[in-house]
Amino acid sequence: MLNKKNGCRILIIICLIAVIITLSGCQLVDYLLKYNQPTGANVPTSAIDILETTLAYLTERYVDDLTDEEIMRAAVAGANAIIGYYDDYGYVLSPQQYYELQYPSTAVNVDEYFGFSFHQVAYLGLVVSSVELDSKAYKAGFQPGDIITDIVQSIDPVVHYQYEDDNNTLHDLDVKTTSLSIISSVLNQQECAYFYVTKGARLIDGFYVGGNEILPILLYRGLIENTNNPDNEYQFIEYYIDSDNCNVSIETISFRSLNKFDGSNVGYIHISSFGEVYNGENLVTDTKQEMKKVMDIMRSNNIDQVVIDVKGNPGGSIQQILGVASFLIYDGNKPVGEQYLCAILETRTEYKEYKTVSVYADYFDTSDPLSVVILTDGHSASASEMLVGVLNGYGTGVQVGTTTFGKGIAQTYYPISKPVEIIAPNNATVSSYYAIYYTCAHYYTPTADGGRVCIHGEGFTPLAENTFDEYTDLIDRAIELLGD
């Protein structure tokens, strides 16, 4: 139950957000599309009056003083609750998050994850949703659908993690009943943990049934070691031609059955995401630069067919998609240098096309009926689905795997505060802002008949004869298609 002070703080949150909407005059950041800042003209006047009056009573007559820091923390939490009520992808960015969203300093922060995502089913445990390729969780055999029934510090004797409640009372962490936010907070502080896992359970009529409990798995953070990419030259792309010409680990070669490509003219490219890495505000690398380097390596080794792997790829920047797509799409009826439509973004008020120029003919035999196969799974989302749609639309690639996630919407952001000084990842002092990140548009990809399609809520599904889960089957089918 909420006490009076917490109830008042919630009202303060709502009022502060109303004031932000009414008074902020910050310039919009151009991320995907350019927009005019909302004026607040469509907010009901009666709602603003109620919120402003409530704020006045709380600030002037509430029994206790609230510090600026308390109000700001509450305002951000309340704003997240409000935008998240309607927008599954929307949230308020802190100044640090806002800066790092614009200038990410690493592609994968291995200190902040155990290699898998999960959701909670009350009184059952944590259900694994996805597993990061090449993470130690992947190596340990974690799979989507596995159920974690306990997480402990040690097993001999069993010692549970503990957390404090608002009254400073200690409780044992129980993944079946403890809130997900507390579980995540505790895990974020650990370098390793023992996970009790039930494997093989399936969701039937709303209940997880079956499965066999196994011994606890000791899991460490981070990726498996990769001696073929010691300097982390590539942060977004892994490639394989043969065991002497690749940037993936021996374990990865085995896990993904990549040695099936040995001696062929088919190369393998895994794209983990479509993003950029910066040192301060200076670009260090991005997906399209790495794609160019890898495609040049493929060409120099007489590789003229490729398997593009976007399994587990959550998406990224549309500009990176355009750069990657330029290597993979072709239309013999288009003049050299003509722009290829790759995506259309529609907001409530705007329509924008995104195009690129094809360099396909520089790397592939244009007389070959098929030179590209793209591998997908249920965690191939957003920008990676856009790439699938583009290949489908121009007929230069065949999808093999399982149905993609189904995210046919795009997000953007804009600042909502005065400048705040922060320490950037390179230790420089810079100005940043609180900002709102929100869903702004639906996106469409071209179809072979000259139309367009939005796959939001549906995803792209491969043909039945191209539907496989395991890498060994995926690679076999890809090689078979490219050899036909």
pLDDT, tens digit, 9 for 90 and up, residues 192-237: 999 998 876 554 444 455 566 677 889 987 666 555 555 557 889 9
Quick check: is 105 in a domain?
Answer: no
Token pair listed for 352: 């924008």
What pLDDT does 18 receive? 37
For 255-271, the pLDDT digits (tens) are: 899 999 999 999 999 99
Q: Are residues 68 and 205 in the same domain?
A: no
Give the global pTM.
0.74
| pLDDT the model gives residue 211 | 60
Q: How confident is the model at residue 108 (pLDDT cuts 50, 70, 90)?
A: very low
CB 31 within 8 A of CB 410: no
Cβ proximity of 188 and 161 under 8 Å: no
Does residue 57 belong to any structural domain of this protein? yes
Across the chain, what does the average pLDDT equal? 82
User: Hey, CA dihedral for 260, 261, 265, 269, is it positive or negative?
Assistant: positive
Q: For residue 110, tell me if it sits in a domain.
A: no
Is 226 inside any structural domain?
no
| Residue with the larger pLDDT of the pair 22 and 331 | 331
Shared-domain flag, residues 215 and 241: no
Token pair, residue 392, equals 């489908």
Number of structural domains the chain divides into: 3
Helical H segments across 105-222, by residue range? 136-139, 180-187
Residue 329 and residue 418 share a domain: yes
Kindly state whether residues 259 and 381 are assigned to the same domain.
yes
Question: Is the domain of 293 the same as that of 425?
Answer: yes
Based on the fold, state whether residues 8 and 141 are members of the same structural domain.
no
Do 288 and 408 fall within a single domain?
A: yes
Q: Which domain holds residue 270?
A: 237-483
What's the mean pLDDT in 460-472? 96
CATH number at residue 466: 3.90.226.10
Whether residue 30 is found in the same domain as residue 166: no
Which DSSP letter does residue 27 get? Answer: P
Tell me: do 177 and 252 sit in the same domain: no
Amino acid 192 reads C
CA quadruple 57, 59, 62, 68: dihedral, nearest 10: 160
Residues 278 and 147 in one domain: no
- CATH number reported for the structural domain that contains residue 121 in this entry: 2.30.42
Please say whether the beta carbons of 397 and 331 come within 8 A: no
In a domain, 463, yes or no: yes
- Please enumerate in sequence order all residues whose Cβ is within 8 A of that of 399, keeping only pairs 6 or more positions apart, or say none: 373, 374, 376, 388, 391, 392, 460, 461, 462, 463, 466
Lowest mean pLDDT: which of 66-70, 93-97, 445-449? Answer: 66-70
Let me know whether 311 and 427 are in one domain. yes
Q: Quick one: 197 and 299 in the same domain?
A: no
Q: With respect to residue 209, please indicate whether it lies within any of the assigned structural domains.
A: yes
pLDDT at 338: 94
pLDDT band at 33 (very low <50, low <70, confident <90, very high): very low
Pick the closest to residue 238 from 225, 251, 224, 252 (CA basis).
252
* Mean pLDDT computed over 390-407: 96
What pLDDT is recorded for position 425?
81
Inside any domain, residue 111: no
pLDDT at residue 28 tops 50:
no
C-alpha of 154 from chain center: 32
